[in-house]
C-alpha cells in the first residue's frame, strides 16, 4: 500500500473545527514520518450547514507523485479508514449533495476500518450500520460523542485520541511517535494531549465485521424524476409561507415536501410539555427550524425535519424537559404535542416509558476539571460494562483489544 485515504464524517458546524483538526493532524503526523499528505473538505453546496452530515478527507502517500495521482479524483471512491466522530451518525449520512441515505461503511475497502467514538456495545452500533458484502473492522474509542466544534472549539481531546488510534490502525503510514511529535508541536498541543494520544493507542478496541453482518434495511432513497418527466425550462417552486396552528394562534412553517432529514436520525427529542417554560431557546437554536409554535406557547418538534442532533436538549434550561431518546423505540413521526393535548396522562405514561427504557445520549462540551474524562469514562463503562460486551450472541468471544 503506497497510499491511504481517510474520511471524517461529522455534523456540519457543530463538529467542523473538530474534523478540521483531525485531518490536519493526520497530514502533519504523516510529514513527521517522512510522507506526503493533504486534507480537504468534499462539498461546495453548503457542507457546513447546521447539523447536516458533512465530510473531510485526508490522503497520505509515500511520494509526492503518488499523492498527486490520488488527488486527481474529485472525491475518493474508496477509503481505507472511515472516522465517525458522532455515533448518532451510525445509521448513515445524508447531505445536500446526495439523494437519500449513504451507509457509513459504503466507501470502506475490503478489510478496511470503521473508527467510531462511542460507548455503545458493538451489537447496538451494528443495528444501525448497514450490511456490506465485504468484511471490515470496526474499531472503537470508548468516549462520548463529541460536540467539540460548536462554533468555538472546546477541549476534550477527541482529536488526539483519534490520531493515537489511527497510529494503531495504519502504523505503516502514521507511527505513534510521529503522531505524538506532531501533537506536541501543534498550537493546540500539550503534554497532556500527547498522553491522551498514547492512551487511545493502548485502549483501542476492535472487532472483525463479517460480510453481510449488520442492519438488513435497504438505505432510504428518493425516486428521482426521469429526464423526460422534467418540466421545460429551469424553475424552482417556492415554498409557501407558514400558517397559524389553529384559531390564529401559534405558527407552523411550510417545509420542503421532498427533502426530509429523519432518515439519518438515531436519536430524537422527547418533550415534557408540562415543564416547558416557553423560553423559545429550542425554537431559536434548532439548526433546521424543526420546532412549531403551538397555540399555548409551547413547541412541538416536526419529526420529519429533525436530524436528531441534540442541540435542543443541550440549550434547554429546564432539566429533563427535552430528552434525546434512541430512535429504535419509535414507530412513526407523529406529533408529540397532539398526543399530549389529547390525553395528558396517557402522554406522560408514554413519555416516561420511552425515556426510562433507553439511554439518553450525553454530549461532551469540554472538560470542567483535569481528569474529568477519565472519571466519567470509568463510571460509565462500569455502569454499562455488561452491555458493552453483550451486544449480540457470541459478542464476548469476538470482542478483543488490538
Which set of grid coordinates corresponds to residue 191?
Answer: 503534554
CA nearest to 108, candidates 169, 190, 33: 169
Q: Do 173 and 269 belong to one domain?
A: no
**CB-based contact 384:119 (threshold 8 Å):** yes
Sheet (strand 205-209) strand order = 36-41, 53-61, 3-11, 79-84, 108-117, 136-141, 205-209, 400-401
Domain count for the chain: 2
Give the whole-angstrom CA distance, residue 147 versus residue 311.
10
- Residue 34 lies inside a defined structural domain of this protein: yes
Virtual torsion, Cα 381, 384, 388, 389, nearest 10 deg: 110
- For residue 373, what pLDDT is reported? 65
**Whether residue 264 sits in one domain with residue 166:** no
C-alpha cell at 251: 405558527
Q: What local confidence, expressed as pLDDT, does residue 400 receive?
A: 36
Answer yes or no: do 68 and 173 share one domain: yes
Q: pLDDT tens digits for 7-57? A: 999 877 778 888 989 999 999 999 998 999 999 886 544 545 556 778 899
Rounded CA-CA distance 381/346 in Å is: 34
The answer as to whether 234 is a domain residue is no
Same domain, 39 and 92: yes
- CB neighbour list of residue 64: distance below 8 Å, 6 or more residues apart: 36
CA atoms within 13 A on the CB side of 224: 6
Give the integer Cα–Cα distance in Å for 146 and 136.
Answer: 24
112 in the same domain as 40: yes
The C-alpha cell that represents 270 in the structure block: 422527547
- CATH value at residue 56: 3.40.920.10
- 160 and 24 housed in the same domain: yes
- Going by C-alpha positions, the residue among 68, 51, 43 that lies closest to residue 15 is 51
What backbone torsions phi and psi does residue 41 show, to the nearest 5 degrees? Answer: -90, 160
User: For residue 289, what is the domain's CATH number?
Assistant: 3.30.70
Instruction: Give me the residues of the chain with pLDDT under 70, please.
Output: 1, 42-51, 73-74, 95-99, 146-154, 233-239, 257-260, 357-370, 372-373, 376-377, 380-402
- Assigned domain for 50 exists: yes
Taking the C-alpha atoms of residue 244 and residue 198, their distance in angstroms, rounded to an integer, is 56
Statement to judge: residues 190 and 325 lie in one domain: no
| Residues 380 and 351 grouped into a single domain | no
Q: Are residues 210 and 284 in the same domain?
A: no
- Looking at the fold, whether 290 and 390 belong to one and the same domain comes out as no
Is 313 a domain residue? yes
Based on the fold, state whether residues 163 and 291 are members of the same structural domain.
no
Same domain, yes or no: 396 and 286: no
SS3 label, residue 152: coil
User: So what's the pLDDT on residue 370?
Assistant: 67
Range of the domain at 58: 3-217+376-401
Q: How far is CA 236 from CA 208, 231, 239, in A?
A: 47, 11, 9
Residue 186 class from Cβ within 10 Å (0-12 exposed, 13-18 middle, 19+ buried)? middle
Stated as kind and residue range, the H or E segment containing 198 is helix 191-203
C-beta separation of 106 from 94 below 8 A: no
Q: What is the pLDDT of residue 326?
A: 81
Q: What percent of the chain has pLDDT over 90?
A: 43
Amino acid at each position: 500500500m503506497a497510499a491511504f485515504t481517510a474520511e471524517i464524517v461529522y455534523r456540519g458546524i457543530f463538529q467542523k473545527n473538530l474534523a478540521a483538526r483531525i485531518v490536519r493532524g493526520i497530514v502533519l503526523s504523516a510529514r513527521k514520518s517522512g510522507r506526503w499528505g493533504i486534507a480537504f473538505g468534499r462539498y461546495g453546496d453548503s457542507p457546513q450547514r447546521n447539523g447536516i452530515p458533512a465530510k473531510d478527507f485526508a490522503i497520505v502517500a509515500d511520494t509526492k507523485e503518488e499523492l498527486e495521482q490520488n488527488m486527481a479524483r474529485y472525491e475518493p471512491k474508496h477509503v481505507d479508514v472511515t472516522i465517525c466522530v458522532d455515533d448518532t451518525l451510525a445509521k448513515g449520512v445524508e447531505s445536500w449533495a446526495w439523494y437519500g441515505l449513504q451507509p457509513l461503511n459504503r466507501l470502506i475497502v475490503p478489510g478496511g476500518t470503521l473508527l467510531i467514538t462511542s460507548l455503545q456495545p458493538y451489537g447496538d452500533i451494528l443495528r444501525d450500520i448497514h450490511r456490506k458484502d465485504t468484511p471490515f473492522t470496526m474499531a472503537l474509542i470508548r468516549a462520548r460523542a463529541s460536540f467539540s466544534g460548536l462554533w468555538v472549539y472546546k477541549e476534550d481531546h477527541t482529536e488526539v485520541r483519534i490520531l493515537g488510534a489511527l497510529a494503531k490502525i495504519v502504523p505503516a503510514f502514521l507511527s505513534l511517535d510521529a503522531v505524538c511529535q506532531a501533537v506536541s508541536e501543534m498550537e493546540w498541543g500539550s503534554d497532556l494531549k500527547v498522553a491522551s494520544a498514547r492512551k487511545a493507542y493502548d485502549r483501542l478496541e476492535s472487532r472483525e465485521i463479517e460480510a453481510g453482518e449488520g442492519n438488513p434495511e435497504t438505505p432510504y432513497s428518493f425516486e428521482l424524476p426521469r429526464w423526460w418527466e422534467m418540466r421545460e425550462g429551469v424553475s424552482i417552486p417556492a415554498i409557501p409561507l407558514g400558517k397559524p396552528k389553529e384559531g390564529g394562534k401559534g405558527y407552523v412553517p411550510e417545509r420542503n415536501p421532498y427533502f426530509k432529514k429523519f432518515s439519518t436520525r438515531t436519536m430524537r427529542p422527547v418533550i415534557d410539555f408540562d415543564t416547558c417554560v416557553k423560553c423559545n431557546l429550542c425554537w431559536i437554536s434548532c439548526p433546521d427550524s424543526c420546532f412549531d409554535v403551538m397555540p399555548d406557547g409551547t413547541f412541538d418538534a416536526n419529526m420529519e425535519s429533525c436530524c436528531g442532533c441534540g442541540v435542543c436538549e443541550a440549550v434547554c434550561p429546564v432539566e429533563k424537559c427535552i430528552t434525546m431518546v434512541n430512535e429504535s423505540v419509535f414507530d412513526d413521526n407523529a406529533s408529540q404535542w397532539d398526543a399530549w393535548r389529547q390525553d395528558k396522562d396517557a402522554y406522560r405514561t408514554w413519555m416516561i416509558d420511552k425515556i426510562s427504557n433507553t439511554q439518553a445520549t450525553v454530549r461532551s462540551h469540554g472538560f470542567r476539571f483535569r481528569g474529568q474524562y477519565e472519571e466519567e469514562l470509568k463510571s460509565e463503562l462500569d455502569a454499562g460494562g455488561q452491555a458493552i460486551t453483550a451486544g449480540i450472541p457470541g459478542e464476548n468471544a469476538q470482542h478483543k483489544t488490538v
